[in-house]
Amino acid sequence: MSSVIRIDGRAYDELRPMDFQLDYQSHPLASLLVSCGNTREIVAMSVEDKVPQWMKNQKVPGGWITSEYGMLPSATGERVRREASAGKQSGRTVEIQRLIGRSLRMAADLEKLGERTVYLDCDVINADGGTRCAAISGAALALAVGCKRLFTVADNPFRELVAAVSVGIIDGVPMLDLCYDEDHRAEVDMNVIMTESGKLVEVQGTAEGAPFSRAKLNELLDLAEHGLKQIFALQRGVLENIQ
Amino acid sequence: MSSVIRIDGRAYDELRPMDFQLDYQSHPLASLLVSCGNTREIVAMSVEDKVPQWMKNQKVPGGWITSEYGMLPSATGERVRREASAGKQSGRTVEIQRLIGRSLRMAADLEKLGERTVYLDCDVINADGGTRCAAISGAALALAVGCKRLFTVADNPFRELVAAVSVGIIDGVPMLDLCYDEDHRAEVDMNVIMTESGKLVEVQGTAEGAPFSRAKLNELLDLAEHGLKQIFALQRGVLENIQ
Amino acid sequence: MSSVIRIDGRAYDELRPMDFQLDYQSHPLASLLVSCGNTREIVAMSVEDKVPQWMKNQKVPGGWITSEYGMLPSATGERVRREASAGKQSGRTVEIQRLIGRSLRMAADLEKLGERTVYLDCDVINADGGTRCAAISGAALALAVGCKRLFTVADNPFRELVAAVSVGIIDGVPMLDLCYDEDHRAEVDMNVIMTESGKLVEVQGTAEGAPFSRAKLNELLDLAEHGLKQIFALQRGVLENIQ
Amino acid sequence: MSSVIRIDGRAYDELRPMDFQLDYQSHPLASLLVSCGNTREIVAMSVEDKVPQWMKNQKVPGGWITSEYGMLPSATGERVRREASAGKQSGRTVEIQRLIGRSLRMAADLEKLGERTVYLDCDVINADGGTRCAAISGAALALAVGCKRLFTVADNPFRELVAAVSVGIIDGVPMLDLCYDEDHRAEVDMNVIMTESGKLVEVQGTAEGAPFSRAKLNELLDLAEHGLKQIFALQRGVLENIQ
Amino acid sequence: MSSVIRIDGRAYDELRPMDFQLDYQSHPLASLLVSCGNTREIVAMSVEDKVPQWMKNQKVPGGWITSEYGMLPSATGERVRREASAGKQSGRTVEIQRLIGRSLRMAADLEKLGERTVYLDCDVINADGGTRCAAISGAALALAVGCKRLFTVADNPFRELVAAVSVGIIDGVPMLDLCYDEDHRAEVDMNVIMTESGKLVEVQGTAEGAPFSRAKLNELLDLAEHGLKQIFALQRGVLENIQ
Amino acid sequence: MSSVIRIDGRAYDELRPMDFQLDYQSHPLASLLVSCGNTREIVAMSVEDKVPQWMKNQKVPGGWITSEYGMLPSATGERVRREASAGKQSGRTVEIQRLIGRSLRMAADLEKLGERTVYLDCDVINADGGTRCAAISGAALALAVGCKRLFTVADNPFRELVAAVSVGIIDGVPMLDLCYDEDHRAEVDMNVIMTESGKLVEVQGTAEGAPFSRAKLNELLDLAEHGLKQIFALQRGVLENIQ
């Protein structure tokens, strides 16, 4: 299988070069320019000292973590219509930001967060596949950094790093971290979201061309775990440099 | 494990009573009243002799299968605001109807469908958990029935039945086909969508309270396969009675 | 005139078979599956313990009764676009739900209702003409049942049953309770809403093809009264069986 | 009954002073400033040489007549929110403009109109009750004038004048042409729309406080006919002065 | 330059006939029918005893002055789509009402206004160029009149009259107060808003066909000042007749 | 006046450090990361081979240049609500993108552009005042670069560089290129847009706190010209390095 040559010369189990540039923006509590190959996103963590209306009467008081995802019209191959001017977010956007929010709520103790809402804004500046995974890995790191800056060690609601990676099957071969051209041709497309301690947070596998077997599902999960370990190492590198 | 007693007295690996009542409505090509315990939905297949605008310039000509999902305001425990009056579909609705559409497009050969759009409308009349799975199982059957009525055997674009079931982990125990009260308490919630020949179409597993291990994922998949076989038998019973 | 043979074999002054199936749904205070020939609707009554914002500063405190009307996309001959996905309710929907709300507010003492909002959701499952009238007759019964369940006899704000029926002129002949094909061809279309004690709540008569005389208006009103008496008997049958 | 003294000193069967000022605007084919007591509206007729999309495939070719109704935020006692800024028309507006359009389509032969859309814009400048009736009477006159200007006598699709008036019951007494303060207190509110030859186009009677008898309905219709004759005379006066 | 003959016979430095008819409507605190040639607008001032949500937590308490601008669909040469029915205000409308609001906030002391919101509704009844300038001159007068009526001399938050006029360059010649046909052909279009004491409130000059020099800018400003003096005289005439 | 010390140590007539980084994104024909002090924006030029619907029937065939402006929610001091999720663009956004589009249409010959639409997307990544001016200067450069890449020298519709700069009066002192804190405190705020040959394209001066004299207007224009010369030099540097 090592003889497969991918579009960009990578091995089937190789991540694209990945980088987290901290504090790219001047205003948010924590912000990152996340690069993953040609995919580039700005991820920012902002905190508001109140909770959404529907949480007001909850029995257990606590906070909320939510995400908004967007893409510059100029970020893709063909210009996409600006959602603000169209007057609504696309179904794809809605689905992605719900996934990010759900995953990130696993990374923190909402009760300990107190009556706060954390916004994780993920904006794609340049798209080349894997934008939702880059968003999740970046948002988890931004959340970790922001919490470290906002809370004392004792009060910190942050629990554990979370990261996401895409895997897929192309011409019958499982591959790690698909770029856009690969994603476009994949028979199966899967996103795996995990905690640093190796537990699954979310698994979403979709047959795009043909249904797949349990055996293939397991191969894809193995490949994802292999890639996620490297992403956790990168996140940890950034996080440990924060005073 | 056989000693676990569920809210409604079922065993951990037992489906709720399920039923497909054909031609419940008088106008669509095929319509079903789907019951799954107290969950009741109307699923209808309609065909339009044209394709969406964005398909007009596709290289390979063919049709499209899409789904719309809705819920009567009175279908749930507390009345939910009518989406038509709110002026937009909720994120949950958007996510569900994208999932149904994606799964159903695997059940047919879109090229063979010709320049047609198939609408699969899934409307929840009474909700008690598992509405998206009931919608997919019902929509696949409605599509099969409708295609049988619309096409000759030779031209029929329908490929294979598809069905969906929910599984989850409650107090550490994997369980099949969660009702609302179980779903509400589940630590892990998963929807498994499969073809009649046993291949996976979509897997969506989400940690709601705590992340889960690969071992648990496999137990859940086994349980889902067990339930799906029974649903395929029910679908086939209806389908074979159509002339 | 008795020699007129209608599409479905009825006499000019004959109602279609009508039925109210109580508690069709499991969650609302009262719900009905209303059938009127092939027209089928689910009508549900829900209560919220607050009033709309604009009522907050009223001099005379009291409650509000409102209605929302919808139709499944698959309920009609040709699939209609889902209003939730179109992002707004059609003019027809808005007009119908205003009519239902107005009529139902005559059936109860709003002051006695207290600071509550009653929602009467009317959802058409299958349409064959007369959906707004079936909705009103069903909603009045749901309101009566719900109030009987919620209030003591002394506190019950329900006043009197209300029912609606359509009448119309086809080829010069007044007819009762038009089905869709008749409604489509009618020169005059009228909805008459009455109290059980025989007073008018609303009269809406519209010339569709040619204007009509006062004499015809009176014939239509006579015909409507004849049909409404039978509907009141059906409603009363259901209502008296409630403990 | 002649001893009843109304707020503004009128007899129970007396119209408010009414006036139609032709060509108030410089651009439309026909425009009127309609006054009815303190109610003042601008009604304009515009013609577009195409029909709405849904009419494209009609069997019988022909045109369409539609109406849009609006009210300046400053036209009422308390400023109302501008619908353009709220982003949607209120239910009341939708209901009124559907009524106007329906009534005006009775005044012309749509087939003879040809592939044109007539817009009747009715904008309330100052409101004191009866705005929908003034709109209909004004729109019918604008339509008549515009058709006279656009078509030869032989091709003129205009059929007959139409006018509308409100009647109501206040403290048990039927009254003609209610001003806002009367309308506000009325137990029954009715709009009667008639052709110049005395046939009914639309009747809408609504119980606001208490249901009403057939006898009262007849008294109201008599009163309306009495007022409509005077409005037809005013319309005719304007129409006959057009070359 | 005096030999230039304009479409309507005016000299290059001549205003169109202008008029302010006070209290044209019966409900608002102050309303005006503003005429400027064939341009006619209704301008009304309404007051609400609360401030917008975003002002609630301001350090310096005070009020707010805002404006809404609209145009009847029938006010222009070709009927324009009603914004309320389109569901949103056009970019042009948004831009104009922001300009009016901004200018008018300079005419009053917001702190002295107290916790009130002043609405200045400007609705164009007939359009022939210069609608935004007529709106500003009218709104300033309505604000002055309304404040005089609402406040004692000591408490009056009104500071100074403001007026606006358009100037432009056509075929290289600067001209005052462009009508629609001139505006349409202008190479440069400028709106100048000034206080009665001769200070600039806003200057907006736009090259429509070709960029312009500093020298031309100065000529245009001279012309505008010349016209504005006449408008201030007209406003003052109305204002001084109020008791 | 040289003794005035600004927040960031600049002289009153000093621009912030400015930079244009070409081809920051991989997909658009031309894209720039524009920096102006802490203000950072991505400006991209995309071309579509068709014109807007309303241009279809123009007498003189030609193209269109339009702009869309957006801001990341995380770009400002306090997180702003995402316009795509709010469902509409703010008035400020609409006003800015109209200004950019208008200015850029002066930079090219629309007839020579042919049946094409040019989109200039300006997205603010980090905001510190002057975002609309940076957008215009960047968009003009992107347009110049894109046209140079798309057209031969003979066919190039690009005419001339355009640039914009803000000036304002703070505590009575005119200053060049305001940062956010200065802009916030300015009594007068002005944007000056010019061609490289020194003609005015647009002038927008607004009194924020107190109206201003003609003399101050002239001082501000002098200051703007001084800054614009330096921006043109920077643009030209980038443009001349393109093959």
- Per-position DSSP letters for B149-201, written without gaps between them: HHS-TTT--B---EEEEEEEEETTEEEES--HHHHHH-SEEEEEEEETTS-EE
Q: How many residue pairs bridge chain D and chain E with CB atoms within 8 Å of each other?
A: 107
**Residue B125: which H helix or E strand, with range?**
strand B117-126
pLDDT, chain B, mean: 95
pLDDT band of D200, cuts 50, 70, 90 = very high
- What residues in C contact D88, CB-CB < 8 Å? 88
Task: Decide if B84 and C88 are in contact by the 8 Å CB cutoff.
Answer: yes
pLDDT confidence bin for F239, thresholds 50/70/90: very high
| Beta partners for residue A92, in sequence order | none
Predicted pLDDT of residue D199? 97
Question: Which residues 31-90 in chain B show a CB within 8 A of chain C?
Answer: 31, 38, 42, 44, 46, 48, 68, 70, 72-79, 82-89
Give the largest Cα separation in chain D, rounded. Answer: 59
Segment 167-196 of chain C within 8 Å of chain D by CB: 194-195
According to DSSP, residue F56 is labeled T
- Cβ atoms of D189 and D166 closer than 8 Å: yes
Q: What's the pTM value of the predicted model, to 2 decimals?
A: 0.94
Inter-chain CB proximity A84 and F82 less than 8 Å: yes
Structure confidence at residue A3 as a pLDDT band (50, 70, 90): low
Of C202, C204, C211, the CB nearest to D195: C211
pLDDT band (50, 70, 90) for residue F53:
confident
Contact D95, C97 (CB under 8 A): no
Strand E200-207 to F18-22 pairing: unpaired
Chains B and C form CB pairs within 8 A to the count of 108
Report whether pLDDT(F3) > 60: no
Interchain CB distance below 8 Å, C207 and D212: no
With a CB cutoff of 8 Å and minimum separation 6, the contacts of C59 are none
Which residue among C200, C207, C213 places its CB closest to the CB of D212?
A: C200
What are the two backbone dihedrals, phi and then psi, of residue D152, each rounded to the nearest 5 degrees? -75, 165
Crossing angle between the packed helical segments E214-240 and E131-150, to the nearest 10 degrees: 40
* Chain F CB contacts of A85 below 8 Å: 68, 89
Distance from CA of A35 to the nearest CA of B (A): 26
The arrangement of strands across the sheet holding B200-207 comes to A173-176, A162-170, A188-195, A200-207, B200-207, B188-195, B162-170, B173-176
Of the CA atoms within 13 Å of residue D72, those in its CB half-sphere come to 35
Out of C46, C121, C126, name the one closest to residue B26 (CB).
Answer: C126
Pair type for strands E200-207 and C39-48: unpaired
Q: Does the beta-carbon distance from D85 to E68 stay under 8 Å?
A: yes
Q: What is the SS3 assignment for C74?
A: helix
Tell which residue, C222, B87, D24, has the closest CA to residue A87. B87
Tokens of A230: 């490297």
Chain mean pLDDT for chain E: 95
Closest residue in F to E96 (Cα) is F95
Q: What percent of chain F has pLDDT over 70?
A: 98
Whose CA is closest to B204, among A95, C64, F156, D243? A95
What pLDDT is recorded for position A20? 98
In angstroms, the CA D83 to CA E82 distance is 10
A72/F38 CB distance under 8 A: no
pLDDT tier for residue D4 given thresholds of 50, 70 and 90 = low
- Alpha carbon of E8: minimum distance to chain F alpha carbons (Å): 26
Over residues B192-213, mean pLDDT:
96
pLDDT in tens, A27-50: 999 999 999 999 999 999 999 999
- pLDDT mean over F208-228: 96
Q: Best of D193, D204, D219, D232 to disrupt the C interface by mutation (most C CBs within 10 Å)?
A: D204
Which residue on chain E is closest to F189 by alpha carbon? E202
Per-residue pLDDT, A141? 98
Helix, strand or coil, per DSSP, at residue A152: coil
Q: Given a cut of 80, is residue B60 above it in pLDDT?
A: no
Say how many CA atoms lie within 13 Å of F99 toward its Cβ. Answer: 29
Residue E70: strand pairing partners:
E123
F94, F111, F216: best mutation site toward chain E, by most E Cβ within 10 Å? Answer: F94
pLDDT of residue B55: 83
Kindly report, residue by residue over D46-70, the tens digit of the pLDDT.
999 998 888 877 777 799 999 999 9
Does residue D117 belong to the interface with chain C, where contact is any CB pair within 8 Å?
no
Closest chain E CA to residue D40: E25
Q: Quick check: C4 pLDDT over 70?
A: no
Report the SS3 class of residue C126.
Answer: strand
C-alpha E173: how far from chain center: 24
For the stretch F57-97, pLDDT in tens is: 777 779 999 999 999 999 998 999 999 999 999 999 999 99
Q: Are E146 and E56 in contact (CB under 8 A)?
A: no
* H runs (alpha helix) in chain F: 83-86, 91-105, 110-113, 131-150, 180-185, 214-240
Amino acid at D242: I
Among D105, D113, D137, D106, smallest CA distance to D32 is for D137
Contact B207 A106 (CB under 8 A): yes
The amino acid sitting at B130 is G
Question: Would an 8 Å CB–CB cutoff place B95 in contact with chain A?
Answer: yes
Cross-chain CB nearest to F26 (options A38, A70, A123): A38
Predicted pLDDT at D3: 58
Is pLDDT above 50 for A1? no
Which residues lie closer than 8 Å to A88 by C-beta, 6 or more apart? Answer: B88, C87, F84, F87
The values of phi and psi at residue D54, to 5°, are: -65, -15
* Coil, strand or helix at A218: helix
Share of chain B above pLDDT 90, in %: 90
| C196 alpha carbon, distance to own chain's centre | 14
Phi-psi region at C108: left, alpha or beta (left = phi > 0; alpha = psi -120 to 50): beta
What is the rounded average pLDDT for all residues in chain A? 95
Give the pLDDT band (50/70/90) at residue B56.
confident
Identify any residues that bridge with A164 across adjacent strands, giving them in sequence order. Answer: A193
DSSP annotation of C96: H
Query: Are the Cβ atoms of F211 and E221 closer than 8 angstroms?
Result: no
Comparing C-alpha atoms, which of A115, A40, A82 is closest to residue F85?
Answer: A82
A71, closest residue in chain F (CA to CA): F72
Q: DSSP letter at A15?
A: P
pLDDT given at position D1: 46
The answer to whether the CB atoms of D74 and E28 lie below 8 A apart is yes
Q: Which residues of E touch F98 (CB under 8 A)?
A: 91-92, 95
Alpha helix positions (H), chain A: 83-86, 91-105, 110-113, 131-150, 180-185, 214-240
pLDDT digits (tens, 9 = 90+) for F183-199: 999 999 999 999 999 99
Please report, rounded to a whole number, the percentage of residues in chain E having pLDDT higher than 90.
90
Q: Which of C95, C207, C214 sits opposite D201 (nearest CB)?
A: C207
Q: CB F200 to CB E207 under 8 A?
A: yes
Residues of B in contact with A92 (CB under 8 A): 98
Of C98, C201, C221, the CB nearest to D91: C98
Q: Which residues contact D26 (CB under 8 A, 6 or more apart)?
A: E38, E126, E128
pLDDT at residue D111, as a whole number:
94
Question: Residue F243 has what pLDDT?
Answer: 74
Ranges of H-type helices in C151-185: 180-185
Average pLDDT value for residue range C7-13:
94
CB nearest E77 (choices: D27, D48, D89): D27
**Do strands E173-176 and E188-195 pair parallel, antiparallel, or not at all (unpaired)?**
unpaired
pLDDT value, residue E1: 45
Between chain A and chain B, the number of residue pairs with CB atoms below 8 A apart is 80
pLDDT, average across residues F101-115: 96
User: Average pLDDT of A166-190?
Assistant: 96
Task: Read off the pLDDT of residues B81-134 as tens digits, 9 standing for 90 and up.
Answer: 999 999 999 999 999 999 999 999 999 999 999 999 999 999 999 999 999 999
Helix (H, G, I), strand (E, B) or coil at F195: strand
DSSP 8-state secondary structure symbol assigned to residue C65: E
Structure tokens at D53: 């999309």
> Which residues in A lie closer than 8 A to residue F48 (C-beta atoms)?
79
What are chain B's partners, defined as 3 or more CB pairs within 8 angstroms? Answer: A, C
Residues of B in contact with A219 (CB under 8 A): none
Q: Is the Cβ–Cβ distance between A126 and F42 less than 8 Å?
A: no
Q: Copy the structure tokens of residue F32.
A: 């720039």
Side-chain half-sphere exposure of A61, counting CA atoms within 13 A: 4
- pLDDT of amino acid E3: 58
Q: What angle do CA D167, D173, D178 make, to 5 degrees?
A: 30
Q: What is the pLDDT of residue B1?
A: 45
Q: Chains near F, with 3+ CB pairs < 8 A?
A: A, E
* Of residues F38, F44, F85, nearest to A74 (C-beta): F44
Using a CB-CB cut-off of 8 Å, the residues of chain C touching B88 are 84, 87
**Which residues in chain A have their CB less than 8 angstroms from residue F121's CB?**
72-74, 79, 82
Q: Which residues of F touch E224 (CB under 8 A)?
A: none
Q: Which of D239, D166, D171 is nearest to D210 (CA)?
A: D171
pLDDT of residue C185: 93
**Is the CB of residue F147 less than 8 Å from the CB of residue F63?**
no
Q: Is C123 helix (H, G, I), strand (E, B) or coil?
A: strand
**Secondary structure (DSSP) of B80-107:** PPPHHHHTS--HHHHHHHHHHHHHHHTT
Q: Which residues of A97-119 are buried (b: 16+ CB within 10 A; e: fewer)?
A: bbbbbbbbbbbbebebbeebbbb
Query: How far, in Å, CA of A140 to CA of A148, rounded?
Result: 12
C217 and D203 in contact by Cβ < 8 A?
Answer: yes
Query: SS3 for D131-196, per residue?
Result: HHHHHHHHHHHHHHHHHHHHCCCCCCCECCCEEEEEEEEECCEEEECCCHHHHHHCCEEEEEEEEC
Q: Tokens 């994120």, residue?
A: B91
Question: Which of F94, F106, F198 shows the shortest C-beta gap to E91?
Answer: F94
The SS3 assignment for C112 reads helix
Which residues are within 8 A (CB) of C221 and not within 5 positions of it... i.e. 6 or more apart?
Answer: C167, C192, C203, D214, D217
The pLDDT assigned to A4 comes to: 65
E125 to chain D, closest Cα gap in Å: 7
Nearest by CB to F82, which of A26, A68, A85?
Answer: A68
Pairing label, strands B188-195, B200-207: antiparallel
pLDDT category at F1 given cuts 50, 70, 90 is very low
Q: Which of F83, F201, F232 to mutate to test the interface with E (most CBs of E within 10 A)?
A: F201
pLDDT at C14 over 70: yes
